[in-house]
Structure 1
Amino acid sequence: MNQTELADALGITKQAVSKLKKQGMPVTSLHAAQAWRAENLNAARSEAMLRSASREPLAAALLRKMIAEAGLAELRCDRLAASLISVSAVQQALRADYQQLAAGADALVKALAPRLCVMTDAAEIHATLDIAIREYLQRECAR
């Protein structure tokens, strides 16, 4: 690893690497340089660097928390105002509609079977099914 790569990996300038190398920092590996810096840099300077580095993520985290809390408060207000739709109520209604459609389709098959059994022309069978299904769907959509 050269000094430019080490500087990039440490987030410092190449000149800072040269200065720290003169103070005894190893430049053979990133791990060795990090360990040396942790042991040898001025503790107060390290603490100040940590504080300044951690301020931004903390501010961003606090902002995300405030936004999330506002969203939850808005959901609670919507729930109290009954402007939200219950997922389970929608699922129950869909289930009931499906069951009604399935029952209607069964009834349609039973009603058409005697007429279709005597037909031999594929076009006539297709036309009969097409008309019956369209009428059934129109009735269901109108309800």
Structure 2
Amino acid sequence: MINTDRVKATAGSNALAGKVVWCPGKSIWFISHFLIALFFAPLLVSVSSVGVFIALTGITLCFGHSLGMHRILIHRSYECSKWMEYLFVYIGTLVGMSGPIGMIKQHDLRDWAQRQTRCHDYLMHGSGIIRDGWWQLICELSLENGPGFTVEERRSIR
């Protein structure tokens, strides 16, 4: 049984026993964005709009998801001013995956599960690109006996 600062497993915690269930909120979020893009993109696409899309996608993924959500919020792997941290994390929420606590929880659950002897395919991304994509976009995993999760106090770099 492997624990981290935020994930606390008990003797009965199991990373394998659970089922993937449809999540209506995620479905509405992603499918509505897909349909809006599908219907309006042909009317609005231009060279400049593609350039803006590429630039904003790069900023959102690099500064928001990678630096904000992952490196600073989840791992605390660098220090910066508080306003910059908040800005990067806010930009990271624009990716649409989850809010700050949801990202930390999902990341830590996945890391905990992958360190176990066996874990559910949802957390392993081991079911092929189509099924994994489907699961990640419109479903969520409901473990029968997952570990506990606690958000710790703000801490500095280790």
TM-score range, shorter chain: under 0.3
Could you tell me the TM-score, scaled by structure 1's length?
A: 0.26
More helix by share: 1
Higher relative contact order (CA 8 A, sep 6+): 2
TM-score between the two structures when normalised by the length of structure 2: 0.24
Structure having the higher strand fraction is: 2
